[in-house]
Amino acid sequence: MSASTHPSTPVALITGASRGLGETLAHFLAGQGYNLVITARRADLLDQTARALAAYGGQVMALPGDVADADHRGKLAGAAQSFGRLDLLLNNASSLGPTPLLALADYPLDQLAQVYAVNVIAPVGLVQATLPLLRAADGLVVNISSDAAVGGYSTWGGYGSSKAALDLISLTLANELKASGVAVASVDPGDLRTDMHREAFPGEDLSNLPTPDATLPFWAWLLGQERASISGGRYQAQAERWEVPS
């Protein structure tokens, strides 16, 4: 699909965009007039999402693949380049790790390394790959975190520690990129009724949890802020106070 587009049309790159929060945000941004680069591992689900997004009238480039793969990250950066700009990089794709969740004392180290490859290394790699475009657009990077990053919950050590690392990476990048005009923020979306949550709590009734669209008021606020004012912040999308005090 060619990506000829008006250069003033904002562009977002969303990972993990075929379901859950990523899919919800893809619809939200498409409705806001963004052109999109979306990715997820399952090509069938990603194709369904892309076809649904086409109804908004913008352009969508869907590239299935694994963000832990450097070649795939390069293709995503190339897709954004074909649009001529990148205003928002949303690092949403995450690996929960082995399920049922395991205590760190029993955690296979090769699987821990894979969790870190997806949840920590891949977001850094995508920032590196897209940085020239982000700089040119005074863009925003949003890294999706979790309350597990600060909770120290039993059996959540693999996933939680990866998100804690991503929080620190977000703050560090915000400090390092401040002079270039690129903003970086970390967002804990809160507990949501998603497939990942079902994988973490098999057999439990999750009907009391909100769907991802419950976070949309927060996202409308965040994306409406002046970039420099939100850079370096850690936010809780379902809290009464969205910004976590430092």
Query: Is residue 70's pLDDT more than 70?
Result: yes
CA–CA separation, 64 and 46 (whole Å): 7
Work out the average pLDDT over 149-157. Answer: 95
Work out the average pLDDT over 158-167. Answer: 98
Digit-coded pLDDT (tens) for 87-122: 999 999 999 999 999 999 999 999 999 999 999 999
Residue 1's pLDDT band (cuts 50, 70, 90): very low
Digit-coded pLDDT (tens) for 221-242: 999 999 999 999 999 999 888 8
Work out the average pLDDT over 164-170. Answer: 98
Residue 61's pLDDT band (cuts 50, 70, 90): very high
What's residue 132's pLDDT? Answer: 98
What's residue 2's pLDDT? Answer: 42
Residue 34's pLDDT band (cuts 50, 70, 90): very high
User: What is the phi-psi region of residue 230: left when phi exceeds 0, alpha when psi lies from -120 to 50, beta otherwise?
Assistant: alpha
Query: Is residue 5's pLDDT more than 60?
Result: no
Residue 197's pLDDT band (cuts 50, 70, 90): low
Catalytic pick among 34, 56, 116, 159: 159
Q: Which residue has the higher pLDDT, 221 or 192?
A: 221
Q: What's the whole-model pTM score?
A: 0.92
Query: Is residue 195's pLDDT more than 80?
Result: no
Q: Which residue has the higher pLDDT, 71 or 196?
A: 71
Considering the four listed CATH numbers 3.10.450.50, 3.10.330.20, 3.40.50.720, 3.90.1570.10, the one that applies to the domain covering 11-236 is 3.40.50.720
What's residue 243's pLDDT? Answer: 79
Query: Is residue 203's pLDDT more than 90?
Result: no
Residue 210's pLDDT band (cuts 50, 70, 90): confident
Query: Is residue 217's pLDDT more than 90?
Result: yes
Q: Catalytic residue at 159?
A: yes
**Nearest residue to 16 via CA among 122, 113, 133:** 122
Q: Strand order in 140-144's β-sheet?
A: 60-62, 35-39, 11-15, 88-91, 140-144, 183-188, 234-236
Residue 201's pLDDT band (cuts 50, 70, 90): low
What's residue 193's pLDDT? Answer: 58
Long-range pairs for 99-102 at CB < 8 Å and ≥24 separation?
99/199, 99/200, 99/202, 100/155, 100/202, 101/155, 101/156, 101/158, 101/159, 101/200, 102/155, 102/158
What's residue 241's pLDDT? Answer: 82
